[in-house]
C-alpha cells in the first residue's frame, strides 16, 4: 500500500515555526487535496488548527505545483504530470500555544499533536505513515509513536526514506511509524531536554517525561503512578493483568500556573503547576499533589474509557466537523468518578480524604441552578457550543457532565451495590463494556450503556437513568449513602467544622456569629483593583436588583469599595438589609437598591458513621479499604 511520508523540523525556534513536509507517491490524478483537522479528539471544540499554517508550497519532482485553499481547512493541488515523481508539500506551522491541545516551540523544547501539524492527503486516511523528526542534536524525543514499522502494524518491508532537504550536521533524524492517520494523530510528541524516568506496571514500561524547570521527587512520582496504573489495569483485567498498550508515556509540562490533560491511546499530555509536584523533603500529601494524581488517574483511565470503549460516533471521527454524542456523562463523568476512587483504592489517599473531595465536587454542582435546567445528556450533546465555550452565565445554564457525571457514577455504583446486596458493582459494568465493545473495537451506540448496566446487574434502572441522566431533578443520595454509613448534609459556608468529611462529630463547633449575607454573585477585581462582578447567580440579590456580570461596583451605602474591601463591606450588614450600590456599566454610572440575602447552604458535608457494622463493611468494600 502506498504510504505517506512526513518530516517535521523545528526550523525557526525564535519564530516558533515547525517546517513540515508531506510526500505521497500516488496523488489523485485529478489533483490531490490535503486537509488539517479542525479539532483534536478528546477536546470537544472547533479550534481551526489550519489558521497556524503560515506558508505552503507544493512540488512534483522538480516541478512546482499550484495550490489553492478551497475551504478553511483544505488545500487543492493542481494535477501532477504522470510519472513526475512524488507530490510533496512543504509548509510552516506556527506553534505557540502552551496547552496540551496544540503545538508549542521555542529554544527550550518542542511539543506537538499531529492534529496541529500533519496534513492528511484526502482518500489516504488508512495509508501507513512514516514520520522523520529532524531534531537538534541535544534534544531527545518522548512519544508513544512506534519506532519500528512492524509494531505499527506495517509490513517489515516498508522502507523509510527521509524525503526532506531539511537537516544539518547539528541535527539528528528520528524515525517513527503509524499504521494510519488516526493512529498518527493519537501520539503527541515532546522533544527537548526533559527529565526522564521509567517504571514497570503489570509488566509494561511506563515513561514519565517532565518538561520545564522543576524539583519533583521522581522516585515518589514513579512509585505513586505505578500504584494508579496497576489498580486500573487490574480493574479491567482482573485475571490476566494485561494492559491495552505495549508501553505508555506521561508527557508532563510544568508551569507556574496551569492545569489540564488530554488522553491518547498509549500516552497522555499533562500540564501541571510545578509546585504541585511532590518535593523529596515534603513526604505528606498536599492538595496540589492530590490534584496531580487525580488528573493522572483520570487520563490513564481514558486508555480504556473513551480511547477504546468509545461512543459509536467516535469510531471514525469526522475531523472537520463537530462529532455529537449524548454520552460524555459516562465517558468523562464516570472517568471523573473513577479517577479519585482509584486513588483511595490504591491507598494514595484515605477514605476520609476521598469523601472530602467528593463532597466538594457535589457542593459545586448542587449550588448552581444550571443543574435544574440542563441534563448531563444534553450537556454532552451541546459541549461544542456550551461546556467548552463557557461565558459569565455558565453557572445558570451549563451543568458539568464531569462533575454531575461523576455524581451519576457514584449514585449508580451505590444503587447497584445496594440493590444486589453487594454482589455487583459498577466495576462489573465497566468490565462488561470493555469486553463487549472496547476490546473488540465496536462503538457504543446511544443508550447501550443503560442496557448493559441492566443486563450485568439484572436490575430495572430505567427510572434511575431517566432522572439522573436525562432529567434535571437532584439525585436522592441520602438512602444510597445510608447503605455505606455516610450522612450527607448541606451547610452554609463557614458553618461548623467547614467543608468535607468528618467522623460523626463534624458540625459540633458551630460559629456563634450570624452568617454574613450574600450578594449572589462572584466578585472579582479588575486591572485597577476595582470590584467587578464576574458572575451573577439566578435569583440572587444582585440579579434581583438589576446588577449584571461585568458591572464595576464603586460604592456601597455611600462608602467607596474596591475588589479588596467589598466582601468586608457586605459582611457589615445583615440579610434583608436594603442598601444602595453605585456601579459603572461600561462608562455609565448607575444606582441599584440591593436587598442582601441569607447565604444559601452550598457546602456539602459527608460524614461517616460505623453503625450498623454492615454499613461500615459495605463502605470499606466500596472504597477498597483494608482497615
User: What residue ranges bind Zn ion (CB under 5 A)?
Assistant: 332
How far apart are CB 231 and Zn ion at their closest, in Å? 18
- Please give the grid coordinates belonging to residue 527: 486591572
Q: Which CB sits closer to Zn ion, 332 or 551?
A: 332
Number of neighbours of residue 63 by Cβ within 10 angstroms = 11
The residue (of 34 and 330) whose beta carbon lies closer to Zn ion is 330
For Zn ion, the closer CB: 400 or 597: 400
CB of 42 to Zn ion, least distance (A): 7
Given the complex with Zn ion, which of 100 and 129 has the nearer CB atom? 100
Nearer to Zn ion, 121 or 438 (CB): 438
Q: Give min distance, CB of 298 to Zn ion, in A.
A: 5
Q: How far is the CB of 225 from Zn ion (least distance, A)?
A: 17
- Nearer to Zn ion (CB atom), residue 18 or residue 301: 301
If the CB atoms of residues 332 and 340 are measured against Zn ion, the closer one turns out to be 332
Given 3-state DSSP classes, what are the helix, strand and coil percentages for the chain, each rounded to the nearest 5? 30, 30, 45
Strands 4-12 and 63-65 come out as: unpaired
Q: How far apart are CA 20 and CA 4, in angstroms?
A: 13
* Residue nearest to Zn ion according to CB distances in the complex: 332
Q: How far is the CB of 334 from Zn ion (least distance, A)?
A: 10
Q: Report the residue number, 22 or 295, with the smaller CB distance to Zn ion.
A: 295
**Cell numbers at 96, concatenated:** 505557540
Instruction: Please give the Cα distance from 270 to 454 (Å, whole number).
Output: 35
Q: How far is the CB of 292 from Zn ion (least distance, A)?
A: 15
Q: Least distance from C-beta 384 to Zn ion, angstroms? A: 16
Q: Backbone phi, then psi, for 210, in 5-degree steps?
A: -110, 120
Nearer CB in complex with Zn ion: 109/386: 386
| Closer residue to Zn ion, CB minimum distance, 34 or 387 | 387
Number of residues in the chain:
627
CB closer to Zn ion out of 194 and 250: 250
* Least distance in angstroms from the C-beta of 388 to Zn ion: 12
Which residue's CB is nearer to Zn ion, number 94 or number 384? 384
Provide the 3-class DSSP secondary structure of residue 143: strand
110: β partners: 105, 191
Least gap, CB of 380 to Zn ion (angstroms): 12
Q: From the CB of 494, what's the least distance to Zn ion, in Å?
A: 32
Q: Given the complex with Zn ion, which of 404 and 417 has the nearer CB atom? A: 404
The least distance separating Zn ion from the CB of residue 406, rounded to whole angstroms, comes to 11
Residues 6 or more apart in contact with residue 159 via CB below 8 angstroms: none
Residue 16: CB atoms within 10 A of its CB come to 21
C-alpha cell at 190: 515532546
Report the candidate in 83, 75, 63, 71 with the shortest Cα–Cα distance to residue 20.
75
* Placement of cell 450498623 in the chain: 612
CB 263 within 8 A of CB 299: yes
Dihedral of the alpha carbons of 64, 68, 69, 74, in degrees to the nearest 10: -60
Torsion sign (Cα): 429, 433, 436, 440: negative
| Residue from 510, 507, 502 nearest 355 by CA | 502
Cell readout for 201 is 506496571
In eight-state DSSP terms, residue 517 is P
CA dihedral 540, 543, 547, 548 (to 10 degrees): 110
E strands present in 521-612: 521-525, 531-536, 552-556, 559-560, 578-585, 588-595, 603-608
The CB-of-301 to Zn ion minimum distance in angstroms stands at: 8
Nearest distance in Å: CB 336, Zn ion = 7
**534 φ, ψ (degrees, to nearest 5):** -85, -45
CA atoms within 13 A on the CB side of 602: 14
* Residue closer to Zn ion (CB basis): 332 or 413: 332
φ, ψ at 315 (rounded to 5°) = -65, -40
How much is the CA Rg of the chain, to the nearest whole Å? 27
Chain position carrying cell 457542593: 363
User: 31 or 313, CB closer to Zn ion?
Assistant: 313
Gap between the Cα atoms of 228 and 201, Å rounded: 9
**Contact 449/433 with Cβ under 8 angstroms?**
yes
Instruction: Provide, rounded to whole angstroms, the least separation between the CB of residue 90 and Zn ion.
Output: 36
Half-sphere exposure of 191 toward its Cβ, with a 13 Å CA cutoff?
29
CB of 179 to Zn ion, least distance (A): 25
Amino acid at each position: 500500500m502506498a504510504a505517506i511520508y512526513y518530516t517535521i523540523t523545528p526550523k525557526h525556534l525564535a519564530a516558533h515555526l515547525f517546517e513540515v513536509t508531506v510526500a505521497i507517491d500516488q496523488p489523485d490524478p485529478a489533483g490531490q487535496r490535503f486537509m488539517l483537522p479542525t479539532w483534536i479528539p478528546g477536546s470537544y471544540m472547533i479550534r481551526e488548527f489550519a489558521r497556524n499554517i503560515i506558508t505552503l508550497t507544493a512540488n512534483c519532482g522538480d516541478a512546482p505545483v499550484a495550490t489553492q485553499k478551497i475551504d478553511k481547512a483544505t488545500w487543492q493541488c493542481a494535477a501532477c504530470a504522470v510519472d513526475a515523481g512524488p507530490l510533496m508539500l512543504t509548509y510552516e506551522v506556527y506553534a505557540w500555544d502552551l496547552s496540551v491541545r496544540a503545538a508549542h516551540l521555542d529554544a527550550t523544547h518542542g511539543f506537538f499533536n499531529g492534529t496541529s501539524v500533519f496534513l492528511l492527503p484526502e482518500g489516504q486516511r488508512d495509508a501507513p505513515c512514516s514520520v522523520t523528526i529532524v531534531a537538534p542534536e541535544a534534544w531527545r524525543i518522548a512519544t508513544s509513536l512506534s519506532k519500528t514499522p512492524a509494531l505499527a502494524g506495517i509490513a517489515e518491508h516498508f522502507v523509510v526514506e527521509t524525503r526532506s532537504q531539511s537537516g544539518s550536521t547539528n541535527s539528528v533524524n528520528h524515525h517513527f511509524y503509524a499504521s494510519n492517520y488516526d493512529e498518527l494523530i493519537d501520539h503527541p510528541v515532546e522533544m527537548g531536554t526533559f527529565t526522564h524516568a521509567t517504571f514497570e506496571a503489570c509488566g509494561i514500561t511506563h515513561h514519565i517525561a517532565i518538561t520545564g524547570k522543576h524539583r519533583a521527587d521522581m522516585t515518589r512520582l514513579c512509585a505513586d503512578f505505578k500504584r494508579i496504573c496497576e489498580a486500573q489495569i487490574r480493574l479491567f483485567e482482573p485475571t490476566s493483568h494485561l494492559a491495552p498498550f505495549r508501553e505508555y508515556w506521561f508527557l508532563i509540562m510544568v508551569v507556574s500556573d496551569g492545569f489540564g490533560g488530554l488522553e491518547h491511546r498509549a500516552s497522555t499530555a499533562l500540564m501541571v503547576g510545578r509546585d504541585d509536584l511532590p518535593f523529596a523533603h515534603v513526604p505528606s500529601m498536599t492538595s496540589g499533589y492530590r490534584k496531580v494524581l487525580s488528573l493522572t488517574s483520570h487520563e490513564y483511565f481514558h486508555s480504556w474509557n473513551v480511547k477504546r470503549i468509545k461512543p459509536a460516533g467516535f469510531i471514525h471521527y469526522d475531523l472537520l466537523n463537530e462529532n455529537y454524542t449524548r454520552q460524555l456523562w459516562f465517558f468523562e463523568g464516570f472517568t471523573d468518578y473513577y479517577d479519585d476512587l482509584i486513588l483511595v483504592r490504591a491507598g494514595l489517599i484515605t477514605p476520609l480524604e476521598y469523601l472530602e473531595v467528593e463532597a466538594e465536587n457535589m457542593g459545586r454542582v448542587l449550588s448552581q441552578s444550571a443543574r435544574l435546567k440542563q441534563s448531563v445528556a444534553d450537556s454532552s450533546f451541546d459541549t461544542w457550543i456550551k461546556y467548552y465555550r463557557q461565558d459569565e452565565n455558565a453557572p445558570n445554564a451549563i451543568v458539568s457532565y464531569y462533575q454531575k457525571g461523576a455524581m451519576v457514577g457514584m449514585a449508580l455504583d451505590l444503587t447497584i451495590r445496594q440493590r444486589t446486596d453487594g454482589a455487583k458493582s459498577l466495576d462489573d459494568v465497566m468490565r462488561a463494556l470493555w469486553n463487549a465493545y472496547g476490546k473488540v473495537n465496536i462503538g457504543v451506540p446511544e443508550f447501550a450503556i443503560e442496557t448493559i448496566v441492566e443486563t450485568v446487574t439484572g436490575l430495572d434502572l430505567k427510572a434511575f437513568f431517566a432522572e439522573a441522566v436525562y432529567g434535571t431533578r437532584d439525585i436522592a443520595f441520602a438512602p444510597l449513602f445510608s447503605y455505606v454509613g455516610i450522612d450527607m448534609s448541606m451547610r452554609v459556608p463557614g458553618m461548623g467544622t467547614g467543608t468535607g468529611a468528618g467522623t460523626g462529630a463534624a458540625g459540633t463547633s458551630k460559629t456563634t456569629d450570624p452568617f454574613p449575607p450574600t450578594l449572589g454573585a462572584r466578585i472579582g477585581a479588575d486591572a485597577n483593583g476595582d470590584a467587578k462582578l464576574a458572575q451573577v447567580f439566578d435569583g440572587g440579590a444582585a440579579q434581583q436588583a438589576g446588577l449584571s456580570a461585568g458591572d464595576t461596583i464603586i460604592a456601597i451605602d455611600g462608602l467607596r469599595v474596591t475588589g479588596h474591601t467589598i466582601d468586608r463591606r457586605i459582611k457589615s450588614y445583615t440579610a434583608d438589609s436594603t442598601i444602595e450600590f453605585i456601579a459603572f456599566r461600561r462608562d455609565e454610572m448607575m444606582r441599584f437598591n440591593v436587598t442582601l440575602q441569607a447565604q444559601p447552604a452550598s457546602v456539602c458535608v459527608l460524614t461517616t458513621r460505623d453503625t450498623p457494622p454492615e454499613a461500615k463493611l459495605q463502605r470499606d468494600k466500596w472504597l477498597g479499604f483494608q482497615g
